[in-house]
Every structure is written in C-alpha cells, then in structure tokens.
C-alpha cells in the first residue's frame, strides 16, 4: 500500500485542485484513523499513507516534483519524508479542520504582520492630575510608505505569492514522525514576495517618521495609569495593521501633598499657642482655592482633620475624595526674654489639670517607684 500512487491513495484525479484534494483527505482521514478503528494496524498503515500523500500533494512545489519524478523526488534528502505522527483523534481533527477555522491560513492576506506597540512615559504634576491636561507628544515611530501605499512594491508593480510556502507564510519540515512548522524564510510569514521593492522603503512598506500627537489626560489619573491610543503604534509590514501606543502616566512628587487614591494627605505644623487656644489656618488646595481648616482648642499632635470633597477627582466618574490634614504641634525654639518670662509665670500657675495625659503618666511613674522602694 505504501508504494501506491498518491493520487490513487486519495482517490482523486491527477488534475484535482487543492480543494478537492483537501476534501478527499479529510474524508479518508476520518475513516482510517486508528483511534476510530480500535488501533487496527491496517488502519494505521493506511492512515500514514494517505497523510503522506496529502502532505505532498497539498504543497505546490512538492506536488510538481512528484508529478515529474514520482517518489524519487523525496529520496536522498530531496524534500524530506512526508510521514507524520498521527497523534490522537482530536489532534488530527484540529489539523484537518484548522485551515477552515483559521482565517490566517485560508487567506494569505491574513498573514500580513501587525506593527509593534509603542510605549511612552509621560510625567505630569499633581495639579495636572487633578484638573486634567491636554499634552502634545512627539513620538518616533514608523508610518506607511506613501509612494507605494504601504505595499512595499515599487509603484506600478505588485507582490506575488511566495512559491516556497504557497502563500501560507509557514513551511513544514519533517523529522521522522514529527513535523515542525515554522515561519517561511523567503517571505518572513507574509505569504508574498516582492520582486521589485519600492526604493523609498526598500520593500518594508513603512518608513521611519516622527509624529506629533495631541492627547487629553483625564482628571483623576494616578501613577501608572495607562492610556491606549489605538493604531498610533508602528505601521505594519507591507500594509499590515498598525500597532497601538500606550502612554504610562507618572505623577511627580508634590511638595505639600501625598496621595492615596482620591485622598490627599498633608502634614501641617501649628504653634503650641494655636494648638492650646484653637484657631483657623489656611491650606491651598489643588483647585487653587484656600481651604480654611479650623483647629479646635487643645488639639494634640498627630490628630487628623478631614476636609470633605477637597481631594482628587474620581477618574472617569463623579465627585472628589477628601483632604486630610495631620496636625503637628511645634514647640518654639527661639523665645524672647519676655516670652520666657510669660511661660515661667504660666508654669508657676500649673495645677496638672491643663495636660491630663502628662499628669496621668507621671502619676504612674510615681506609683511605680513607690512599689519598688517599698
């Protein structure tokens, strides 16, 4: 059976077209696969034979060599063996029907190579992140060649189907029972070759170009926010679709605020007299308004005061977060003689009730020493 003519094995005429050969192989492979015949050795042998025949006749170059020289064309390192590892029934099902389910194999135009995606790192201020900003970017990329319209062929000419892969963009190499499929080295997976390349792009269909883009950075963006510009990446090879441009936003450190989500945090030092007596301080917001923060009398260092709605805007949403002021009571370090005199007078009048936490702490220390000394 292994010496039977390939056309006879597939039960087709010698002038059968590719579609007829493919249909015949699909039918016979389904009938003869060993998984469907209880592992029958005869079925296994027949299956290998029809697979060998199909692997030869579906390839235009191999078929032409077979029609002229028969199986001798594949001996002594001609095109290599055609045997395949038949694998499981599900594997051969995928092999048989894969070309019908995958448009990239059925249509050689599907083999065009998509352009690469590009990355752009954009640094903005926290104020820009608060209000949003229109920025102009200068991006070095590639664009479709105008003289050839991105085809890569010299104007007035066109590409032709690659003879090595038959327009599929993939070639197969057999090693024993294993078949390796790789990108066609002649057309680089495109399925077409250019005999007369365009002098402007040297057959690539694209040229290097610097372009200016206007980008709207929305209010509320945070560190690491990614903005995608579809089709603004590199142009595809020989008319392939362009890639995308991804803009990664980086927010510069702010001298006053730290951000956590939509909440703004700020440390605010206040004098010990303001902390003791209370008062009002002004904090500039990112919205360029002055926010009055009321300090209650007797506030302690580390206490936080929340200003509702004065934080960052919600990205692609409504409303704002809060502003949180953390009070840090500052002890004076430079006192005039009169100020020292007034503080001495104040200390002379202290009863311990003015600072209850301090009084409680020292009472505990006194009790501890009394227990130790007995």
**Binding site residue list:** 145, 148, 162, 165, 184, 187, 198, 201
Going by C-beta distance under 8 Å and a sequence separation of 6 or more, which residues neighbour residue 187?
Answer: 162, 164, 165, 169, 193
The alpha carbons of the chain give a radius of gyration, in whole angstroms, of 39
Task: For residues 26 and 97, give the distance between their C-alpha atoms in angstroms, rounded to a whole number.
Answer: 8
SS3 131: helix
Residue-wise DSSP of 256-295: S-EEETTEEEEEEEEEHHHHHH-EEEEEE-TTS-EEEEEE
8 A C-beta contact, residue 206 and residue 150: yes
CA distances from 273 to 281, 283, 329, 353 (A): 13, 19, 9, 17
Nearest Cα neighbor of 50 from 101, 106, 99, 4 is 4
Alpha-carbon gap, residue 212 to 189, rounded angstroms = 32
Q: Which of 229, 106, 70, 324 is nearest to 62 (CA)?
A: 70
Binding site feature residues for Zn(2+)? 145, 148, 162, 165, 184, 187, 198, 201
Six-digit token string for 245: 């441009």
DSSP one-letter string for 46-61? HHHHHHHHHHHHTSHH
């Amino acid at each position: 059976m292994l010496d039977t003519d390939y056309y006879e094995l597939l039960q087709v005429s010698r002038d059968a077209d590719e579609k007829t050969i493919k249909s015949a192989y699909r039918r016979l492979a389904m009938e003869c696969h060993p998984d469907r015949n209880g592992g029958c050795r005869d079925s296994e042998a027949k299956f290998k034979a029809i697979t060998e025949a199909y692997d030869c006749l579906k390839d235009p170059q191999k078929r032409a060599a077979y029609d002229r020289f028969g199986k001798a064309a594949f001996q002594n390192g001609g095109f290599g063996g055609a045997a395949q590892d038949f694998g499981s029934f599900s594997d051969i099902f995928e092999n048989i029907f894969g070309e019908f389910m995958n448009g990239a194999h059925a249509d050689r135009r599907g083999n065009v190579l998509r352009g690469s995606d590009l990355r752009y790192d954009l640094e903005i201020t926290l104020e820009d992140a608060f209000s949003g900003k229109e920025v102009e970017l200068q991006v070095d990329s590639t664009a479709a060649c105008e003289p050839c319209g991105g085809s890569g062929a010299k104007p007035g000419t066109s590409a032709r189907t690659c003879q090595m892969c038959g327009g599929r963009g993939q070639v197969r190499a057999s090693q024993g029972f294993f078949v390796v499929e790789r990108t066609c080295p002649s057309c680089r997976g495109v399925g077409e070759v250019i005999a007369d390349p365009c002098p402007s792009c040297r057959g690539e269909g694209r040229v290097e170009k610097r372009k200016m883009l206007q980008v709207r950075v929305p209010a509320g963006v945070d560190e690491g926010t990614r903005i995608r510009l579809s089709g603004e990446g590199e142009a595809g090879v020989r008319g392939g679709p362009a890639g995308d441009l991804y803009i990664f936003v980086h927010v510069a450190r702010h001298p006053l605020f730290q951000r956590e989500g939509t909440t703004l945090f700020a440390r605010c030092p206040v004098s010990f007299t303001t902390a003791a007596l209370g008062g009002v301080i002004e904090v500039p917001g990112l919205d360029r308004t002055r926010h009055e923060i009321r300090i209650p009398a007797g506030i302690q260092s580390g206490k936080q005061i929340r200003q509702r709605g004065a934080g960052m805007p919600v990205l692609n949403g409504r409303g704002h977060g809060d502003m949180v002021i953390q009070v840090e009571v500052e002890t004076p370090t430079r006192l005039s003689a009169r100020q020292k005199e007034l503080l001495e007078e104040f200390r002379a009048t202290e009863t311990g009730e003015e600072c209850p936490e301090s009084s409680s702490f020292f009472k505990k220390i006194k009790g501890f020493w009394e227990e130790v000394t007995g």
